[in-house]
Structure 1
């Protein structure tokens, strides 16, 4: 038999000792049926600061919609985004490459913590 799809989220949603965690999830609008489903993270680097990122909120919404249609629970969250196009030729360009690690680390942190 294969693994349950909610093998990770069940640590929070199904364990009796995690009542406080479950209360927080109920506060976000989830119900008992939702807590039995896998939670799927949808990371986005949306922000209004440049044309590369400004549409990503709309894409994340579409992804979340598809996840919900599959009867799973989408959990949207954001991380940072740095525009090479804006920072090119300035001191800000020195943040471009390090931002990639920060982006990956922030996504990993949200996913592993929840």
Structure 2
């Protein structure tokens, strides 16, 4: 049986450290739940605003926003409906869980309130 997303994160030192810091940033947003899906975690507050995908030595985040995030850090953007965009960012170090990312998390979270 394949390892779950959380097992894959816990088995990788870098991914685990990033996830722990990311959990702290998420706690500052307010109420939310982490739902385990096949191969990823969805962070929800009524609906998903963030997906966390484990990668070797990193985590891939997919933030749901009302407009594309314009930044060199964003790997890919995709418009999924008239007012919803998916924005992918690969986090390779704990330092990348910074004020800029926290702002994007707040922006995504605000769509659920």
> Normalising by the residue count of structure 2, what TM-score does the alignment of the two structures yield?
0.28
Structure number having the greater strand percentage:
2
Give the TM-score of the pair, scaled to structure 1: 0.28
Greater helix content? 1
